[in-house]
Structure 1
Amino acid sequence: MEVNEILVLLMFGTFILLLFTGFPVAWVLCGVSMIFIPVAMLADTWFDAFIGIDWNYASLVVPRMWDIMTNWVLVALPMFIFMGLMLDRSGTAEDLMGNLVRLFGRVRGGLAVTVIFVGLLLAASTGIIGASVVLLAVLGMPLMMRDGYSKELACGTVASTGTLGILIPPSIMLVMMGDRIGVSVGDLFLGAVFPGIMLAGFYVAYVLSLGFLRSDVAPVSADAEPVSLAIVFSALRAVLPTAGLIIAVLGSIFMGVATPTEASGVGAMGATLLALARGRLTFTVLKEVGRETTKTTAFIFALIVCATAFSLVLRGLGGDELIEKALTSLPFGPSGIVISILVVTFFLGFFLDWIELTLIILPLVAPVVSALGFDLVWFAVLFAVCLQTSFLTPPVGFALFYLKGVVPAGIRLQHIYRGVVPFILLQLIGLAIVFFVPSIVTWLPATVYSP
């Protein structure tokens, strides 16, 4: 093994080990990249090798940072974050939950179905996992506990439904993926529509089947009202504002009227107008949403910048060549190589967040996948479905910890862990379907943009 290949492995290993120290991920990425520049220079001297990394090479980070900060695609990130946070403050989710509970109240598992439906609408309008999980838990968990739902089913439904926002457009993860691998964000949004809806459909089917087979796990509410036209109209009226915002944002992208960046501005303004119409828009709310948007955006951009430095040094050491050689030397065909990438990504998701995997792993493996003849839009959506499991897999399943912070008393971490297992299996089934039936991803972009 060459000296530079050993350094690549040491760099990866050091990064993963330092994550367990609790330091912010961005600082770990920058720190490791800065450490391995002098290490590479010393290796040149000690082993009479020529790696070619020095402090002049490290200065390439500056123009790359400039390219990031002048990238119009990434302007969509703070806009979509603002949209999600403002929609959260507008109170539309509370209205949705209250009206849909009345609509599905007489169905076994109806409360869980309500949580999934509300979560699906939130996913298509926020894309912020922490906000979605917390909001669904605050609104739905007390109702399910009151009606005697299984703790595991209630926790699994809320945690898994909250993760849909990372896949269903407008997803900030898809925006970052499009920027990292150079594919159209609009194509990624279109490609992710059916996989996201499919996963939500799997969740609903599982909840209804479990309620049918075991009435004690998901019972009918004792005070459920009979469904009437008034209840149906009330539910439709509650759905329309959020649905209208989703149509305005995604419809403008899919119809070619606006770019994702322009549509993000439409969404931010639309969410603000919804809050104003409902009497929820105050200076305090505007200040809080602005502050949270700034913090979240700063966190993401710090990771992007530091991951750029990490990737620069890693590539300078020959990390992309090492990964390409390792993948192409596997004793499998092209499909087997893609499966191997997904398996490794799934297990890395136990320890790494989706942002690190998107910024570091995806750009390294995407060229190999493209060289094997696969469609990059399909692979990016496949990768996104795989990354969705990272929110639910311990020990670093962020959705689990968001949920644990707001669940009612009496629910332990064990209930949450056991509750998400069936939903992780459903996500893996969805991943397999997307892999074996690529048209689920590729059909809609090809149809919308066909002449």
Structure 2
Amino acid sequence: MEINEILVLMMFGAFVLLLFTGFPVAWVLGGIALTFVPIAMLADEWFDAFIGIDWNYVSIVIPRIWDVMTNWVLVALPMFIFMGLMLDRSGVAEDLMGNLVKLFGRVRGGLAVTVTFVGMLLAASTGIIGASVVLLAVLGIPLMMRDGYSKELACGTVCSTGTLGILVPPSIMLVMMGDRIGVSVGDLFLGAVFPGLLLASLYVAYILILGYCRSDLAPVSESAEHVTLPIVFKALKAALPTAALIICVLGSIFMGIATPTEASGVGAFGATLLAFSRGRLNLSVFREVGRETTKTTAFIFALIVGATAFSLVLRGLGGDELIEKALTGLPFSPTGIVITILIVTFLLGFVLDWIELTLIILPLVAPVVSGLGFDLVWFAVLFAVCLQTSFLTPPVGFALFYLKGVVPEGINITHIYRGVVPFIVIQLFGLAIVFWAPAIVTWLPASVYGP
């Protein structure tokens, strides 16, 4: 093994080890990049092996970071974050939950189905996982506990449904993926629509089947009302504001009226108007949403800066060639190589966050997948579905920790872990369906924008 290949493996090893020190990931990435440049220079001198990297190479980091900060695609990130946070403060989810509980109340598992439906609407309008999980937990778990639902089912439903926002457009992860691999964000948004609906449908099917087979785990509430036309009308009325906002944002993108960046501004403005119309907008709320948007955006962009430096030095050491050689050297067919990438990504999701995997791993493997003849939009959506599970898998499954912080007394981390296991299996089953039926991803972009 050549010295530069050893350095590449050392960079990856140092990154994984330093993650457990508690240092901010952005500084870990940038610090490793700056540390390994002089190491590479010393290796070049001592081992007389051409590394092809020097301090002049490091200076390229500056214009690369400048390109990131002037990228109009990434302007959509703070706008979509603001949109999600403002919609969370508008109170539409509370109204929707209250009305849908009456609509599905006489169905076994109806409360869990209600949580899934509300979570799907939140996913298509927020994309902020922490806010979605906490809101669904606060609204849904007390209701399910009151009616005798299994603690595991309640926790699993909230966690899995709350993570749909990272996949369902307008997803900030898809915006970052489009920027990292040079794929149209509009194509990724369109490609993720059916996989998101597929996962939500699988969740609902599992809940209904479980409720039918084990009525003690998801019983019908004794106080449930019979469904009447006024109840149906109130449920539709409660869903209308959120649905209208989703249509305005995604419809303008899909019909070519606006770019994702422009549509994000429309969404932020629409969410603000929605909060104002419901009497929820005041200076305190506006200040709080602005502060949270700034903190989240700064966190993401700091990671992008650190990942840019890390990836540049890694490429200078020949890391992309090493990964390509390792993948193409596997004794598998092209399909087997893609499966291997997805398996490794799933396993990495146990210890790495979706942001690190999107910024570091995806740009390294995407050229290999493209070179094998696969559609990058299809692969990126597969990658996104795989990364969704990283929110549910310990030890760094953030959805689990968000939920643990707000669950009622009597629910512990064991209930949460056991509750998410069936939904992780469902997600992997959905991933397999999308893998073996690529048209689920590619048909809609091709129909809207053409092949």
TM-score range, shorter chain: over 0.9
- TM-score normalised by the chain length of structure 1: 0.99
Whole-angstrom CA distance in 2 between matches of 1:285 and 1:389: 32
Amino acid at match of 2:201: G
Task: Point out where structure 2 has 5 or more consecutive residues left out of the alignment.
Answer: none
Q: Which amino acid aligns with 1:243?
A: A
Q: Counterpart of 1:65?
A: 65
Q: Partner residue of 1:335?
A: 335
Any idea what the Cα deviations from partners look like across 1:355-402, whole Å, max 9, x if unmatched? 000000000000000000000000000100010111101111011011
Task: Give the deviation of 1:450 after TM superposition.
Answer: 2.6
Q: Which amino acid aligns with 2:317?
A: L
The CA distance in 1 between the partners of 2:448 and 2:201, in whole Å, is 23
Once residues 106 and 182 of structure 1 are traced to their aligned partners in structure 2, the CA distance between those partners, rounded to angstroms, is 48
What residue is the counterpart of 2:415 in the other structure? 415
- The alpha-carbon deviation at position 432 of structure 1 amounts to 0.5
Post-superposition shift, 1:50?
A: 1.6
Aligned to 1:367: 367
Give the superposition deviation at 1:42: 1.1
Measure how far apart 1:167 and its partner are: 0.4
State the AA in 2 paired with 1:21.
Answer: T
Do residues 47 (structure 1) and 47 (structure 2) align? yes
What is residue 282 of structure 2 aligned with on the other side?
282
Distance (whole Å) between structure 2 residues aligned to residue 11 and residue 449 of structure 1: 41
1:144 aligns with 2:144: yes
Please name the residue that 2:394 is paired with. 394
Aligned to 2:437: 437
Q: Distance in 1 between matches of 2:28 and 2:115?
A: 37
Distance 2:3 2:265 in 1: 49
Cα distance, 1:52 vs structure 2: 2.2
Which whole-Å deviations, capped at 9, do the CAs of 1:129-178 have from their partners, x for residues lacking one?
Answer: 11100110011011111111000000000000000000000000000000
What does residue 323 of structure 1 align with?
A: 323
Query: Quick one: which amino acid aligns to residue 397 of structure 1?
Result: G
Q: CA deviation at 1:55?
A: 1.7
Q: Secondary structure at the match of 1:224?
A: coil
Matched ranges for 1:26-425 at <5 A: 26-425=26-425
Q: Deviations over 1:229-277 (max 9, x none)?
A: 1111000000000000000000000001000000001100000000000
* 1:394 counterpart SS class: coil
The separation in 1 between residues aligned to 2:64 and 2:318, in whole angstroms, is 18
Partner amino acid for 1:69?
M
Q: Which moved more, 1:150-159 or 1:220-229?
A: 220-229
Q: By how many angstroms is 1:19 displaced? A: 0.2
1: distance between equivalents of 2:209 and 2:261?
Answer: 41
| Aligned counterparts of 1:48 and 1:187: Cα–Cα separation in 2 | 47
Unaligned runs of 5+ in 1: none
User: Structure 1 runs of 4+ off > 3 angstroms?
Assistant: none
Length-normalised TM-score, structure 2:
0.99
State how far apart, in whole Å, the 2-side matches of 1:349 and 1:337 are. Answer: 18
Let me know the Cα RMSD of the aligned residues: 0.7
- Which stretch of structure 1 is more off in the superposition, 183-192 or 47-56? 47-56
The letter for the 2-side match of 1:70 is: T
| Equivalent AA in structure 2 for residue 347 of structure 1 | L
- Mapped to 2, the partners of 1:32 and 1:417 lie a distance apart of 33
